[in-house]
Structure 1
Amino acid sequence: MKTLLLGIFAAASLHAPPFSHSISRVTAAQLPHSWHPGCPVSPARLRRVRLTYWGFDHRAHTGALVANENAVSDLVHVFSRLYAARFPIRRLQPIDAYGGKDERSLAADNTAAFNCRYVVGPGPRRWSVHAYGEAIDVNPVENPYLEAGRIHPRAGQRYLDRSNVRPGMAVRGGLLVRAFAVVGWRWGGRWTGAPDYQHFSATGG
């Protein structure tokens, strides 16, 4: 049975469509939960990117994310590389699909970029890099954020052992981390004290 499944997955990979993407402008009306007046970037500086990604079901899917116009080319490059390597992504939807609620998106194992919100964690209130559309959280269940003894999302607890590498994980020297490093984005998994394994950003924050 295992051999049969491997054969089916290999055939699906062989006949998968080529990577594709499209970029479009967005309006405030299209961002009802993730943007509001007072955010550090305007909708005019954001773009919706539809692109192909490889799923955990070993099939090609089309998803979308919203990001800063200056981050789009980097993200397209990263996702094209991930798709070519058949690196799995669970879901890829703008966070408005989850009412702009970060915890709902994380619990759904959704990969998302722009969300006008503040930094999660201690210290003075300040905008997250997500609020600028220059950060992305990838496969948050497989790559949890550890903050003050809490695990975001809770389902990420079974992935706390980072030495037990499983599909979709971001690990030092692994494909996901290297793909972002190529375009100059930095990984939150390097943070000491409160590693954020799902987080990649153009600024390092």
Structure 2
Amino acid sequence: MNPKRFILIVCFMSLTIRAQDTIIDSDYDWETLKATYTLHYYKHLTTANFKQFQSGIAQMSLVDVSYYGYDHKVHRGQIVCHQSVAEELQSIFRQLLWIKFPISSVIPMSEFNFDDHLSMHNNNTTCFDFRLKTLKNGWSKHAYGIAIDLNPRQNPFVSRQGVFPDNALSFLSQGRIRADDFKGMQVIRIFAMYGWRWGGYWSSSKDYMHFQKNSLPAN
């Protein structure tokens, strides 16, 4: 289906959701949140890496997203991402809401003291996280705001070194993403329409929570 046509259908269906029924999980303003991020990384990064962080944070946006919770209610969360993917992430979340794909929470990393382990243990969905790759050298796509980890506990990172997060739930639990599952395949296809690749297709390891853009758009 054409992505634009699908978006129109989703927007029409979204009109049935009353704003007053939405549960607000996160309500930051971007300038305040950006200052919190900057102060944290100023304290924890080397001078060279902090300069790289400053360059990156200037290209980020704070995006409000609506999603279907495990309580069968509509929630509003917030996600920090690169400006170039902000609109398409909003569209992706609208489509995930329409198919009622359950999401645990979508809250900025500051709520977890910028601790990736803690965020994942709490099954929190995030995008921008200024960190290195898992088990590899170099900056993660998360550091550029072009990767998202969705329901980490249901969709763990699996490699020869083990499973992460270590409190991962059964693969059969709700909110999982699998190519052999109908709703999971819907999620994969929704992201794919916008050029986001799924880590579950990787060969050496499997990152079931992970979707990423391969690169930033050319200026």
TM-score range, shorter chain: 0.7 to 0.9
Is the contact between residue 39 and residue 131 of structure 1 (CA under 8 Å) also seen in structure 2?
no
Q: Which runs of 4+ in 1 moved over 6 A?
A: none
Q: 1:58 aligns with which of 61, 72, 75?
A: 72
RMSD between superposed Cα atoms in Å: 2.8
Aligned to 2:175: 168
Q: Which structure has the highest helix share of the two?
A: 2
Question: Measured at CA, do residues 60 and 34 of structure 1 come closer, stay the same or move farther in structure 2, by a change above 3 Å?
Answer: farther
Which residue of 29, 37, 54 maps to 2:35?
A: 29
State the match for 2:52 in structure 1: 39
For 1:186 and 1:115, how far apart are their aligned partners in 2?
18
- Alignment match, 1:4: none
Superposed, 1:36-185 pairs within 5 Å as: 37-39=50-52, 41-122=55-136, 125-156=137-168, 158-159=170-171, 164=172, 166-172=173-179, 174-185=185-196
Deviations 1:155-198 (A, max 9, x none): 21522xxxx4x421111161211110011100000011210000
> How far 1:99 sits from its partner (Å)?
1.2
Q: What letter matches 1:170 in structure 2?
A: I
For 2:168, what is the secondary structure of its paired residue? helix
Alignment gaps of 5+ in structure 2: 1-13
Instruction: Give how far 1:33 is off.
Output: 3.7
**Alpha-carbon offset, residue 146 of structure 1:** 1.1
Counterpart CA distance in 2 for 1:43 and 1:151 is 30
Alpha carbons of 1:34 and 1:203: their partners in 2 closer, same or farther (altered >3 Å)?
Answer: farther
Aligned pair in 2 of structure 1 residues 169, 38: CA closer, same or farther (>3 Å)? same
TM-score for both structures, normalised by structure 2: 0.75
Would the aligned equivalents of 1:188 and 1:199 in 2 still touch at CA under 8 Å?
A: yes
Residue 194 of structure 1: aligned partner: 205
Q: 1:34, 1:114 within 8 Å by CA — same for their partners in 2? A: no
> What is the rounded CA distance, in whole Å, between the counterparts of 1:182 and 1:15 in structure 2?
24
Equivalent position SS for 2:206:
coil
- Report the secondary structure of 1:136's partner residue: strand
Contact 2:128 2:145 in 1 (8 A): yes
Q: Deviations over 1:38-64 (max 9, x none)?
A: 335432210001121110110011111
Aligned equivalents of 2:208, 2:169: Cα separation in 1: 12
Q: Percent identity?
A: 30
TM-score normalised by structure 1 residue count: 0.80
Q: Determine the C-alpha separation between the residues in 2 that align with 1:105 and 1:87.
A: 20
Distance 2:160 2:51 in 1: 29
